Amino acid sequence: MLSKNEEKLQEVREKIVEILQDLTISQKLALRALEECDPKSFDEVKVPLKQINKKTEEIDNLVLVIFARYAPEASDLREMVAALKITSALQRIATNEKNYIKNMAVCNPETKKEIKRVINESLTINRCTINALEYTMEMVLETEDKDRIRELESKIEVEASKTDDVYSMIEKEVLQMMHKDHEISEEYMNLLKYIRKNLKIIDRLEDIASRIHFARIGGTL
């Protein structure tokens, strides 16, 4: 039977996973909207993000209650410190997602063929981000198997590395196109900026993974 402290810790984990699920749903909706280049679908992407600030505030308040009532020590204390940093990262991910999808609404039936092609190539970033979100959820819930925690953190790092490679390839391709046309296209430069906003999401997930590693295994933040 779990102690009151352990019950509250488990509640924190479950609330963090709930937010990660919302972010995953949003990413999957964004992927579908961009695959179809359907402007009607973009508003759906924002729906799972609407309550995230409220949910992160609930977690922060719960953590403060745990500090005040149960005075956690050792690994429990590390987990509470990590949770406060994780909620901040989750809020930033939601903001990145909102800004990204707002700007990517440039994708519509009248969008230039070349722009659509670049957007389609960038969707590997979305798929890698979805994978990383799922690995992060498993990390949050894994409290015993340290080897599995390390393995999941490594998997997130691999997905992040893939997205860096994809972005570098897209950036090189876009710059070559502009060089060929002997002009700097604001349309393409903005597109690269929007894709970078999506790229930041997986960077935040790497940060969360390092917080979980700290909570479960130790080390420094």
pLDDT at position 221, please? Answer: 52
Closest to 26 in 3D by CA, of 117, 100, 114: 100
Q: What class, spelled out in words, does domain 4-216 have in CATH? A: mainly alpha
pLDDT at position 103, please? Answer: 84
Closest to 99 in 3D by CA, of 46, 61, 50: 46
Closest to 114 in 3D by CA, of 124, 122, 125: 122
Average pLDDT per block of 10 residues along the chain, 221 residues long: 77 96 95 86 88 95 86 81 94 93 81 87 96 97 94 97 95 82 73 89 96 83 52
Residue 189, both tokens: 């430069």
The type of residue at 112 is K
**Cα–Cα distance for residue pair 216/29, rounded to 1 Å:** 32
Contact at 8 Å (CB) between 59 and 15? yes
DSSP 51: T
pLDDT at position 208, please? Answer: 96
Radius of gyration of the chain (CA): 19
Closest to 114 in 3D by CA, of 165, 173, 179: 173
> The whole model's pTM is what?
0.92
Q: Would residue 218 be called left, alpha or beta, if left means φ above 0 and alpha means ψ between -120 and 50 degrees? A: left
**Cα–Cα distance for residue pair 189/11, rounded to 1 Å:** 44
**Cα–Cα distance for residue pair 33/100, rounded to 1 Å:** 12
What is the 3 state secondary structure string of 65-92? HHHHHHCCCHHHHHHHHHHHHHHHHHHH
CA 66 to chain centre: 26
pLDDT at position 31, please? Answer: 92
Apex 93 CA angle, 5 and 133, nearest 5: 70
